[in-house]
Amino acid sequence: MANKTFFTYDEQIEKLEKEMKEIAKRDLAISRFELSKEEALAKYVDNEYKTELINELPDGETISFYEQGGEFTDLCAGPHLMSTGKIGAFKIMSVAGAYWRGNSENKMLKRIYAISFPKAKQLEEYLNLLEEAKKRDHRKLGKELRLFELVEEGPGFPFFLPKGMVVYNTLMEYWREVHTRENYVEISTPTILSRHLWETSGHWFHYKENMYTTQIDEQDFAIKPMNCPGGMLVYKMEPRSYRDLPMRVGEIGLVHRHELSGALNGLMRVRCFHQDDAHIFMTKEQIQDEIKDVVRLFDEVYKLFGLSYHVELSTRPEDSMGSDEDWEIATDGLRGALDAIGLDYVVNEGDGAFYGPKIDFHLNDAIGRTWQCGTIQLDMQLPERFELEYTGADGQKHRPVMIHRVVYGSIERFIGIIIEHFAGAFPTWLAPVQAVVIPVSEAHKEYAHKVYEQLKAAGIRAEVDDRNEKMGYRIRENQLKKVPYMLVVGDKEAEAGAVAPRDRKEILKEAMPTEAFIEYIKAEIKERRR
Protein backbone atom coordinates (compact mmCIF):
# COMPACT_ATOMS: atom_id res chain seq x y z
CA MET A 1 0.00 0.00 0.00
CA ALA A 2 1.38 3.34 -1.03
CA ASN A 3 2.20 5.87 1.69
CA LYS A 4 -0.15 8.83 1.87
CA THR A 5 1.09 12.36 2.45
CA PHE A 6 -0.89 14.32 5.02
CA PHE A 7 -0.70 18.07 5.29
CA THR A 8 -1.51 20.20 8.30
CA TYR A 9 -4.09 22.96 7.99
CA ASP A 10 -1.38 25.65 7.75
CA GLU A 11 0.51 23.61 5.14
CA GLN A 12 -2.64 23.22 3.06
CA ILE A 13 -3.33 26.96 3.20
CA GLU A 14 0.29 27.73 2.31
CA LYS A 15 0.14 25.35 -0.65
CA LEU A 16 -3.13 26.86 -1.87
CA GLU A 17 -1.88 30.44 -1.57
CA LYS A 18 1.30 29.49 -3.45
CA GLU A 19 -0.79 28.14 -6.33
CA MET A 20 -2.97 31.27 -6.30
CA LYS A 21 0.11 33.50 -6.50
CA GLU A 22 1.38 31.48 -9.44
CA ILE A 23 -1.93 31.89 -11.31
CA ALA A 24 -1.90 35.65 -10.65
CA LYS A 25 1.71 35.89 -11.84
CA ARG A 26 0.82 34.19 -15.15
CA ASP A 27 -1.68 36.98 -15.92
CA LEU A 28 -4.24 34.62 -17.44
CA ALA A 29 -6.98 36.32 -19.47
CA ILE A 30 -10.53 36.05 -18.10
CA SER A 31 -13.28 36.04 -20.70
CA ARG A 32 -17.06 35.90 -20.51
CA PHE A 33 -19.37 33.80 -22.67
CA GLU A 34 -23.03 32.80 -22.60
CA LEU A 35 -24.92 29.54 -23.05
CA SER A 36 -28.58 28.63 -23.17
CA LYS A 37 -30.10 26.77 -20.26
CA GLU A 38 -30.02 23.53 -22.25
CA GLU A 39 -26.36 23.98 -23.22
CA ALA A 40 -25.46 24.82 -19.61
CA LEU A 41 -27.15 21.65 -18.34
CA ALA A 42 -25.29 19.59 -20.92
CA LYS A 43 -21.99 21.14 -19.80
CA TYR A 44 -22.56 20.20 -16.16
CA VAL A 45 -24.38 16.91 -16.56
CA ASP A 46 -22.06 15.31 -13.96
CA ASN A 47 -22.20 18.19 -11.45
CA GLU A 48 -25.25 17.97 -9.19
CA TYR A 49 -24.63 21.39 -7.63
CA LYS A 50 -24.38 23.34 -10.89
CA THR A 51 -27.31 21.38 -12.29
CA GLU A 52 -29.47 22.36 -9.33
CA LEU A 53 -28.63 26.06 -9.74
CA ILE A 54 -29.24 26.00 -13.51
CA ASN A 55 -32.58 24.19 -13.18
CA GLU A 56 -33.87 26.95 -10.92
CA LEU A 57 -33.33 29.55 -13.65
CA PRO A 58 -36.32 30.45 -15.89
CA ASP A 59 -36.62 28.71 -19.24
CA GLY A 60 -35.09 30.74 -22.03
CA GLU A 61 -32.63 32.37 -19.62
CA THR A 62 -29.21 33.16 -21.05
CA ILE A 63 -26.54 32.02 -18.61
CA SER A 64 -23.12 33.61 -18.28
CA PHE A 65 -19.81 31.79 -17.78
CA TYR A 66 -16.24 32.93 -17.21
CA GLU A 67 -13.17 31.20 -18.58
CA GLN A 68 -9.70 31.67 -17.10
CA GLY A 69 -6.84 31.21 -19.54
CA GLY A 70 -8.47 28.21 -21.17
CA GLU A 71 -7.76 26.22 -18.00
CA PHE A 72 -10.80 26.80 -15.83
CA THR A 73 -14.43 27.64 -16.56
CA ASP A 74 -17.23 28.35 -14.11
CA LEU A 75 -20.85 29.41 -14.02
CA CYS A 76 -21.01 32.99 -12.69
CA ALA A 77 -23.11 36.14 -13.04
CA GLY A 78 -19.94 38.24 -12.78
CA PRO A 79 -18.42 40.66 -13.31
CA HIS A 80 -14.73 39.67 -13.17
CA LEU A 81 -11.35 41.29 -13.67
CA MET A 82 -9.92 41.19 -17.19
CA SER A 83 -7.02 38.97 -16.13
CA THR A 84 -5.53 37.25 -13.09
CA GLY A 85 -2.58 39.66 -13.22
CA LYS A 86 -4.88 42.42 -11.97
CA ILE A 87 -5.16 40.65 -8.62
CA GLY A 88 -2.91 42.31 -6.06
CA ALA A 89 -2.03 41.13 -2.59
CA PHE A 90 -4.31 38.54 -1.06
CA LYS A 91 -4.59 36.20 1.89
CA ILE A 92 -6.78 33.22 2.79
CA MET A 93 -8.48 34.20 6.03
CA SER A 94 -10.31 31.05 7.04
CA VAL A 95 -11.84 27.75 5.94
CA ALA A 96 -15.21 26.67 7.27
CA GLY A 97 -17.76 23.93 6.76
CA ALA A 98 -20.97 25.07 5.11
CA TYR A 99 -24.09 23.14 4.23
CA TRP A 100 -25.03 23.36 0.56
CA ARG A 101 -27.48 26.29 0.18
CA GLY A 102 -27.44 26.76 3.97
CA ASN A 103 -29.64 23.71 4.57
CA SER A 104 -28.46 21.31 7.30
CA GLU A 105 -30.15 18.42 5.48
CA ASN A 106 -27.74 18.89 2.57
CA LYS A 107 -24.09 17.82 2.27
CA MET A 108 -21.42 19.68 4.18
CA LEU A 109 -19.01 21.47 1.84
CA LYS A 110 -15.90 23.57 2.42
CA ARG A 111 -16.01 27.35 2.08
CA ILE A 112 -12.77 29.29 1.73
CA TYR A 113 -12.72 32.95 2.79
CA ALA A 114 -10.05 35.23 1.36
CA ILE A 115 -9.37 38.95 1.05
CA SER A 116 -7.60 40.87 -1.71
CA PHE A 117 -6.17 44.37 -2.04
CA PRO A 118 -4.47 46.14 -4.96
CA LYS A 119 -1.25 46.61 -2.95
CA ALA A 120 0.62 44.62 -0.30
CA LYS A 121 0.73 47.64 2.02
CA GLN A 122 -3.07 47.85 2.02
CA LEU A 123 -3.31 44.16 2.91
CA GLU A 124 -0.81 44.62 5.72
CA GLU A 125 -2.77 47.58 7.10
CA TYR A 126 -5.97 45.56 6.97
CA LEU A 127 -4.43 42.59 8.77
CA ASN A 128 -3.03 44.91 11.46
CA LEU A 129 -6.52 46.38 11.82
CA LEU A 130 -7.97 42.91 12.34
CA GLU A 131 -5.40 42.18 15.04
CA GLU A 132 -6.20 45.44 16.79
CA ALA A 133 -9.92 44.71 16.50
CA LYS A 134 -9.37 41.30 18.17
CA LYS A 135 -7.68 43.03 21.12
CA ARG A 136 -10.64 45.41 21.37
CA ASP A 137 -13.39 42.81 20.97
CA HIS A 138 -16.12 43.95 23.36
CA ARG A 139 -17.15 40.36 24.08
CA LYS A 140 -13.65 39.54 25.33
CA LEU A 141 -13.17 42.81 27.22
CA GLY A 142 -16.71 42.74 28.60
CA LYS A 143 -15.98 39.40 30.23
CA GLU A 144 -12.47 40.33 31.43
CA LEU A 145 -13.62 43.65 32.89
CA ARG A 146 -16.75 42.04 34.40
CA LEU A 147 -19.13 44.35 32.56
CA PHE A 148 -21.59 41.83 31.14
CA GLU A 149 -22.10 38.15 30.44
CA LEU A 150 -23.79 36.22 27.64
CA VAL A 151 -25.33 32.96 28.84
CA GLU A 152 -26.83 29.91 27.14
CA GLU A 153 -30.05 30.34 29.11
CA GLY A 154 -30.69 33.70 27.42
CA PRO A 155 -29.29 33.83 23.88
CA GLY A 156 -29.37 37.43 22.72
CA PHE A 157 -30.40 38.62 26.19
CA PRO A 158 -27.29 40.10 27.87
CA PHE A 159 -26.75 40.11 31.64
CA PHE A 160 -25.23 43.37 32.88
CA LEU A 161 -22.99 42.98 35.93
CA PRO A 162 -22.44 45.66 38.63
CA LYS A 163 -19.54 47.36 36.81
CA GLY A 164 -21.43 47.24 33.52
CA MET A 165 -24.40 48.87 35.22
CA VAL A 166 -22.15 51.71 36.36
CA VAL A 167 -21.26 52.38 32.72
CA TYR A 168 -24.92 52.07 31.70
CA ASN A 169 -26.19 54.39 34.45
CA THR A 170 -23.44 56.95 33.84
CA LEU A 171 -24.42 57.10 30.17
CA MET A 172 -28.04 57.57 31.23
CA GLU A 173 -27.13 60.37 33.65
CA TYR A 174 -25.38 62.19 30.82
CA TRP A 175 -28.31 61.54 28.47
CA ARG A 176 -30.79 62.98 30.97
CA GLU A 177 -28.57 65.98 31.66
CA VAL A 178 -28.34 67.09 28.01
CA HIS A 179 -31.99 66.31 27.27
CA THR A 180 -33.27 68.22 30.30
CA ARG A 181 -31.18 71.17 29.12
CA GLU A 182 -32.79 70.88 25.65
CA ASN A 183 -36.32 70.89 27.16
CA TYR A 184 -37.19 67.24 26.69
CA VAL A 185 -39.57 65.56 29.14
CA GLU A 186 -39.25 61.87 29.96
CA ILE A 187 -41.99 59.21 29.93
CA SER A 188 -42.23 55.45 30.30
CA THR A 189 -44.68 53.27 28.36
CA PRO A 190 -45.65 49.59 28.90
CA THR A 191 -43.63 46.74 27.46
CA ILE A 192 -46.68 44.76 26.29
CA LEU A 193 -49.50 46.38 24.34
CA SER A 194 -52.47 45.07 22.38
CA ARG A 195 -52.54 43.90 18.78
CA HIS A 196 -54.95 46.74 17.99
CA LEU A 197 -52.24 49.29 18.78
CA TRP A 198 -49.72 47.57 16.51
CA GLU A 199 -52.28 47.31 13.73
CA THR A 200 -52.94 51.03 14.01
CA SER A 201 -49.21 51.81 13.89
CA GLY A 202 -48.68 49.44 10.95
CA HIS A 203 -46.10 47.32 12.74
CA TRP A 204 -48.37 44.26 12.80
CA PHE A 205 -48.36 44.24 9.00
CA HIS A 206 -44.85 45.56 8.25
CA TYR A 207 -42.76 44.28 11.20
CA LYS A 208 -44.54 41.27 12.72
CA GLU A 209 -41.78 38.77 11.84
CA ASN A 210 -39.48 40.72 14.20
CA MET A 211 -41.99 40.87 17.07
CA TYR A 212 -42.64 38.57 20.03
CA THR A 213 -46.35 38.03 20.56
CA THR A 214 -48.49 36.55 23.32
CA GLN A 215 -52.11 36.20 24.38
CA ILE A 216 -53.79 37.72 27.42
CA ASP A 217 -57.47 36.92 28.09
CA GLU A 218 -57.63 35.30 24.64
CA GLN A 219 -56.59 38.58 23.02
CA ASP A 220 -53.41 39.10 20.95
CA PHE A 221 -50.67 41.28 22.43
CA ALA A 222 -47.10 42.08 21.37
CA ILE A 223 -43.94 42.88 23.30
CA LYS A 224 -42.91 46.24 21.94
CA PRO A 225 -40.09 46.25 19.37
CA MET A 226 -40.00 50.04 19.59
CA ASN A 227 -41.39 52.80 21.76
CA CYS A 228 -43.18 54.93 19.15
CA PRO A 229 -46.83 53.73 19.36
CA GLY A 230 -46.87 54.17 23.14
CA GLY A 231 -45.61 57.72 22.63
CA MET A 232 -48.55 58.35 20.31
CA LEU A 233 -50.97 57.39 23.06
CA VAL A 234 -49.23 59.72 25.53
CA TYR A 235 -49.65 62.63 23.09
CA LYS A 236 -53.39 61.86 22.78
CA MET A 237 -53.99 61.82 26.53
CA GLU A 238 -54.44 65.61 26.67
CA PRO A 239 -55.67 68.29 24.26
CA ARG A 240 -52.73 70.01 22.56
CA SER A 241 -52.34 73.56 21.29
CA TYR A 242 -49.85 75.14 18.90
CA ARG A 243 -48.45 76.79 22.03
CA ASP A 244 -47.38 73.30 23.27
CA LEU A 245 -45.32 72.67 20.15
CA PRO A 246 -42.64 71.67 19.63
CA MET A 247 -43.24 68.98 22.25
CA ARG A 248 -40.06 66.94 22.94
CA VAL A 249 -40.68 63.62 24.68
CA GLY A 250 -37.92 61.12 25.57
CA GLU A 251 -38.13 57.48 26.66
CA ILE A 252 -35.47 54.96 27.68
CA GLY A 253 -37.56 51.96 26.71
CA LEU A 254 -36.73 48.27 26.88
CA VAL A 255 -37.63 46.74 23.51
CA HIS A 256 -37.50 43.18 22.16
CA ARG A 257 -36.92 42.09 18.58
CA HIS A 258 -36.76 38.58 17.17
CA GLU A 259 -33.28 38.17 15.72
CA LEU A 260 -32.10 34.94 14.14
CA SER A 261 -29.57 33.08 16.29
CA GLY A 262 -26.91 33.33 13.59
CA ALA A 263 -27.17 37.12 13.59
CA LEU A 264 -26.53 37.54 17.33
CA ASN A 265 -23.24 39.26 18.14
CA GLY A 266 -22.39 40.20 21.72
CA LEU A 267 -23.97 43.56 22.49
CA MET A 268 -23.94 44.61 18.83
CA ARG A 269 -26.93 42.46 17.84
CA VAL A 270 -29.23 41.32 20.65
CA ARG A 271 -32.86 40.39 21.19
CA CYS A 272 -33.59 42.91 23.94
CA PHE A 273 -32.12 46.35 24.39
CA HIS A 274 -32.84 49.81 25.70
CA GLN A 275 -33.53 52.43 23.07
CA ASP A 276 -33.02 56.11 23.89
CA ASP A 277 -36.01 57.22 21.89
CA ALA A 278 -37.34 60.71 21.65
CA HIS A 279 -40.38 61.90 19.72
CA ILE A 280 -40.74 65.53 18.77
CA PHE A 281 -44.22 66.72 17.82
CA MET A 282 -44.25 69.93 15.79
CA THR A 283 -45.82 72.00 13.07
CA LYS A 284 -44.55 71.76 9.48
CA GLU A 285 -42.99 75.19 9.89
CA GLN A 286 -40.88 73.95 12.80
CA ILE A 287 -39.35 70.97 10.96
CA GLN A 288 -36.06 72.47 9.86
CA ASP A 289 -35.30 74.23 13.15
CA GLU A 290 -36.00 71.07 15.15
CA ILE A 291 -33.82 68.93 12.91
CA LYS A 292 -31.01 71.47 13.20
CA ASP A 293 -31.27 71.28 17.01
CA VAL A 294 -31.21 67.49 16.95
CA VAL A 295 -28.13 67.45 14.69
CA ARG A 296 -26.41 69.92 17.03
CA LEU A 297 -27.22 67.66 20.01
CA PHE A 298 -25.91 64.57 18.20
CA ASP A 299 -22.71 66.38 17.29
CA GLU A 300 -22.14 67.37 20.94
CA VAL A 301 -22.68 63.82 22.23
CA TYR A 302 -20.49 62.07 19.67
CA LYS A 303 -17.64 64.56 20.09
CA LEU A 304 -17.64 63.87 23.84
CA PHE A 305 -16.60 60.29 23.07
CA GLY A 306 -14.18 61.28 20.31
CA LEU A 307 -16.39 59.74 17.62
CA SER A 308 -16.45 61.40 14.21
CA TYR A 309 -19.29 60.58 11.81
CA HIS A 310 -20.72 60.79 8.33
CA VAL A 311 -24.39 61.22 7.41
CA GLU A 312 -26.74 59.38 5.05
CA LEU A 313 -30.23 60.42 3.90
CA SER A 314 -32.38 57.33 3.37
CA THR A 315 -35.44 57.58 1.12
CA ARG A 316 -38.71 55.68 0.63
CA PRO A 317 -38.45 51.85 0.65
CA GLU A 318 -40.65 49.54 -1.40
CA ASP A 319 -42.50 48.30 1.70
CA SER A 320 -43.86 51.62 2.94
CA MET A 321 -47.12 53.35 3.74
CA GLY A 322 -48.46 56.85 2.99
CA SER A 323 -48.97 59.03 -0.03
CA ASP A 324 -46.31 60.17 -2.48
CA GLU A 325 -47.05 63.75 -1.44
CA ASP A 326 -46.39 63.04 2.25
CA TRP A 327 -43.14 61.28 1.44
CA GLU A 328 -42.01 64.13 -0.78
CA ILE A 329 -42.73 66.71 1.92
CA ALA A 330 -40.95 64.64 4.56
CA THR A 331 -37.91 63.90 2.39
CA ASP A 332 -37.61 67.54 1.31
CA GLY A 333 -37.83 68.56 4.98
CA LEU A 334 -34.85 66.40 5.92
CA ARG A 335 -32.85 67.35 2.83
CA GLY A 336 -33.58 71.04 3.38
CA ALA A 337 -32.40 70.89 6.99
CA LEU A 338 -29.15 69.16 6.04
CA ASP A 339 -28.53 71.68 3.27
CA ALA A 340 -29.27 74.60 5.62
CA ILE A 341 -26.81 73.23 8.18
CA GLY A 342 -24.22 72.71 5.47
CA LEU A 343 -23.69 69.10 6.55
CA ASP A 344 -22.30 66.79 3.88
CA TYR A 345 -24.39 63.68 3.25
CA VAL A 346 -24.98 60.89 0.76
CA VAL A 347 -28.39 59.67 -0.39
CA ASN A 348 -29.18 56.04 0.43
CA GLU A 349 -32.05 55.26 -1.92
CA GLY A 350 -34.85 53.03 -0.62
CA ASP A 351 -33.47 52.49 2.88
CA GLY A 352 -35.91 54.64 4.86
CA ALA A 353 -38.29 53.34 7.53
CA PHE A 354 -41.66 52.08 6.31
CA TYR A 355 -43.32 55.20 7.71
CA GLY A 356 -40.86 57.91 6.65
CA PRO A 357 -37.42 58.98 5.39
CA LYS A 358 -34.51 59.24 7.80
CA ILE A 359 -31.07 60.69 8.44
CA ASP A 360 -28.56 58.14 9.74
CA PHE A 361 -25.35 58.96 11.59
CA HIS A 362 -22.49 56.52 11.00
CA LEU A 363 -19.83 56.79 13.70
CA ASN A 364 -16.10 56.27 13.11
CA ASP A 365 -14.24 54.65 16.01
CA ALA A 366 -10.59 54.82 17.07
CA ILE A 367 -9.42 52.27 14.49
CA GLY A 368 -11.50 53.55 11.61
CA ARG A 369 -14.50 51.19 11.71
CA THR A 370 -17.99 52.53 11.05
CA TRP A 371 -21.09 52.00 13.20
CA GLN A 372 -24.63 53.20 12.46
CA CYS A 373 -26.07 54.69 15.66
CA GLY A 374 -28.03 57.92 15.64
CA THR A 375 -31.04 58.39 13.41
CA ILE A 376 -33.57 61.14 12.71
CA GLN A 377 -36.80 59.93 11.10
CA LEU A 378 -39.47 62.33 9.89
CA ASP A 379 -42.92 60.79 10.14
CA MET A 380 -46.23 62.08 8.81
CA GLN A 381 -47.86 58.63 8.84
CA LEU A 382 -48.20 57.75 12.53
CA PRO A 383 -49.74 61.14 13.46
CA GLU A 384 -52.29 60.46 10.73
CA ARG A 385 -52.95 56.85 11.72
CA PHE A 386 -53.34 57.77 15.40
CA GLU A 387 -55.36 60.89 14.53
CA LEU A 388 -53.10 63.22 16.50
CA GLU A 389 -54.27 66.83 16.61
CA TYR A 390 -53.43 70.25 17.92
CA THR A 391 -55.42 73.46 17.94
CA GLY A 392 -53.76 76.07 15.75
CA ALA A 393 -53.65 79.86 16.15
CA ASP A 394 -56.66 79.92 13.82
CA GLY A 395 -58.72 77.87 16.29
CA GLN A 396 -58.87 74.94 13.88
CA LYS A 397 -57.65 71.37 14.33
CA HIS A 398 -54.38 70.46 12.59
CA ARG A 399 -52.20 67.37 12.27
CA PRO A 400 -48.72 67.58 13.84
CA VAL A 401 -45.55 66.26 12.19
CA MET A 402 -43.36 63.97 14.25
CA ILE A 403 -39.64 63.21 14.44
CA HIS A 404 -38.37 59.90 15.76
CA ARG A 405 -34.75 60.16 16.90
CA VAL A 406 -32.17 58.24 18.90
CA VAL A 407 -28.69 59.37 19.90
CA TYR A 408 -27.15 56.21 21.33
CA GLY A 409 -29.55 54.01 19.35
CA SER A 410 -29.40 50.78 21.23
CA ILE A 411 -27.70 51.62 24.53
CA GLU A 412 -26.33 48.09 24.74
CA ARG A 413 -24.85 48.41 21.26
CA PHE A 414 -23.42 51.85 22.06
CA ILE A 415 -21.70 50.37 25.13
CA GLY A 416 -20.24 47.66 22.88
CA ILE A 417 -18.98 50.34 20.48
CA ILE A 418 -17.30 52.47 23.13
CA ILE A 419 -15.76 49.42 24.80
CA GLU A 420 -13.99 48.74 21.51
CA HIS A 421 -13.40 52.43 20.77
CA PHE A 422 -11.60 52.94 24.10
CA ALA A 423 -10.21 49.36 24.16
CA GLY A 424 -11.88 49.02 27.57
CA ALA A 425 -9.95 52.01 28.99
CA PHE A 426 -12.93 54.29 29.60
CA PRO A 427 -12.33 57.95 30.38
CA THR A 428 -12.37 58.58 34.11
CA TRP A 429 -15.92 59.97 34.23
CA LEU A 430 -17.25 56.76 32.66
CA ALA A 431 -14.94 54.17 34.26
CA PRO A 432 -16.65 51.70 36.66
CA VAL A 433 -13.74 52.08 39.08
CA GLN A 434 -12.09 55.49 38.91
CA ALA A 435 -9.31 54.96 41.44
CA VAL A 436 -7.87 52.03 43.36
CA VAL A 437 -5.82 52.50 46.55
CA ILE A 438 -2.85 50.11 46.83
CA PRO A 439 -1.07 49.86 50.20
CA VAL A 440 2.63 49.01 49.95
CA SER A 441 2.40 46.49 52.81
CA GLU A 442 0.19 45.17 55.60
CA ALA A 443 1.28 48.11 57.73
CA HIS A 444 -0.35 50.59 55.35
CA LYS A 445 -3.79 48.95 55.05
CA GLU A 446 -5.39 51.17 57.65
CA TYR A 447 -4.25 54.36 55.91
CA ALA A 448 -5.31 52.93 52.53
CA HIS A 449 -8.85 52.45 53.83
CA LYS A 450 -8.83 55.97 55.25
CA VAL A 451 -7.97 57.31 51.77
CA TYR A 452 -10.70 55.12 50.29
CA GLU A 453 -13.29 56.62 52.65
CA GLN A 454 -12.17 60.13 51.63
CA LEU A 455 -12.56 59.25 47.97
CA LYS A 456 -15.95 57.64 48.55
CA ALA A 457 -17.19 60.67 50.50
CA ALA A 458 -16.17 62.86 47.55
CA GLY A 459 -18.24 60.74 45.16
CA ILE A 460 -15.28 58.97 43.57
CA ARG A 461 -15.84 55.33 42.57
CA ALA A 462 -12.92 53.70 44.39
CA GLU A 463 -11.62 50.36 45.66
CA VAL A 464 -8.81 49.16 47.92
CA ASP A 465 -6.53 46.40 46.65
CA ASP A 466 -5.00 45.08 49.85
CA ARG A 467 -4.64 41.47 48.75
CA ASN A 468 -1.75 39.45 50.10
CA GLU A 469 0.20 39.82 46.86
CA LYS A 470 3.30 41.73 45.87
CA MET A 471 2.68 45.40 45.09
CA GLY A 472 4.00 45.02 41.53
CA TYR A 473 1.54 42.20 40.89
CA ARG A 474 -1.37 44.28 42.17
CA ILE A 475 -0.35 47.24 40.02
CA ARG A 476 -0.19 45.07 36.90
CA GLU A 477 -3.57 43.52 37.73
CA ASN A 478 -5.22 46.92 38.00
CA GLN A 479 -3.55 48.06 34.81
CA LEU A 480 -5.22 45.10 33.08
CA LYS A 481 -8.53 46.17 34.66
CA LYS A 482 -8.04 49.57 32.92
CA VAL A 483 -8.42 51.55 36.17
CA PRO A 484 -7.62 55.23 35.42
CA TYR A 485 -5.78 55.94 38.71
CA MET A 486 -3.78 53.76 41.08
CA LEU A 487 -2.94 55.43 44.38
CA VAL A 488 0.07 53.85 46.07
CA VAL A 489 0.39 54.57 49.78
CA GLY A 490 3.36 53.76 52.03
CA ASP A 491 5.13 55.33 55.01
CA LYS A 492 5.78 58.70 53.36
CA GLU A 493 2.21 59.06 52.13
CA ALA A 494 0.72 58.05 55.47
CA GLU A 495 2.88 60.57 57.33
CA ALA A 496 2.07 63.39 54.91
CA GLY A 497 -1.64 62.56 54.36
CA ALA A 498 -0.84 62.07 50.69
CA VAL A 499 -1.07 59.58 47.82
CA ALA A 500 1.35 58.63 45.06
CA PRO A 501 -0.83 58.50 41.92
CA ARG A 502 -0.10 56.44 38.83
CA ASP A 503 -2.35 57.26 35.88
CA ARG A 504 -2.73 55.78 32.43
CA LYS A 505 -1.64 59.00 30.72
CA GLU A 506 1.38 59.38 33.00
CA ILE A 507 0.51 63.00 33.79
CA LEU A 508 0.78 62.77 37.58
CA LYS A 509 4.30 61.73 38.55
CA GLU A 510 4.73 63.06 42.09
CA ALA A 511 3.06 62.34 45.42
CA MET A 512 0.37 64.88 46.33
CA PRO A 513 -1.95 65.58 49.27
CA THR A 514 -5.04 63.39 49.16
CA GLU A 515 -7.30 66.46 49.13
CA ALA A 516 -5.42 67.86 46.11
CA PHE A 517 -5.83 64.60 44.23
CA ILE A 518 -9.54 64.52 45.03
CA GLU A 519 -9.99 68.03 43.63
CA TYR A 520 -7.98 67.05 40.53
CA ILE A 521 -10.01 63.95 39.73
CA LYS A 522 -13.33 65.65 40.56
CA ALA A 523 -12.54 68.37 38.01
CA GLU A 524 -11.63 65.71 35.42
CA ILE A 525 -14.93 63.90 36.03
CA LYS A 526 -17.02 67.08 36.04
CA GLU A 527 -15.53 68.22 32.73
CA ARG A 528 -15.84 64.68 31.29
CA ARG A 529 -12.30 64.80 29.90
CA ARG A 530 -11.22 61.97 27.60
DSSP H/E element including 478: helix 471-480
Is position 228 annotated as part of the catalytic site? yes
Angle among Cα 474, 477, 268 to the nearest 5 degrees reads 155
Name the residue type at position 360.
D
Q: Looking at 276, 277, 326, 465, which residue is catalytic?
A: 277
The helix or strand, by DSSP H or E, that contains position 286, with its residue range, turns out to be none
269 noted as active-site residue: no
63-68: strand order across its sheet? 30-35, 63-68, 72-75
Task: Tell me whether residue 358 is one of the annotated catalytic residues.
Answer: yes
Contact 452, 518 (CB under 8 A): no
Radius of gyration from C-alpha coordinates of the chain:
30
Choose, from 279, 316, 444, 461, the residue flagged as catalytic. Answer: 279
The reply to whether 277 belongs to the active site is yes
Where would I find the H helices in 316-464?
A: 324-341, 381-385, 411-421, 445-457
Q: How far is CA 398 from CA 231, 291, 292, 391, 511, in A?
A: 18, 21, 23, 6, 67
Cβ distance 339 to 370 under 8 Å?
no
Q: Identify whether 181 is a catalytic site residue.
A: no
Catalytic residue among 138, 203, 224, 228: 228
| Cα–Cα dist 504/119, whole Å | 37
Ranges of H-type helices in 84-156: 120-136, 138-144
Q: Is 479 a catalytic residue?
A: no
Residue 87, SS3?
Answer: coil
Q: Is there a catalytic annotation at residue 491?
A: no
- Which residue among the candidates 203, 404, 461, 482 is catalytic per the annotation? 404
As annotated, the active-site residues are: 228, 257, 275, 277, 279, 358, 404
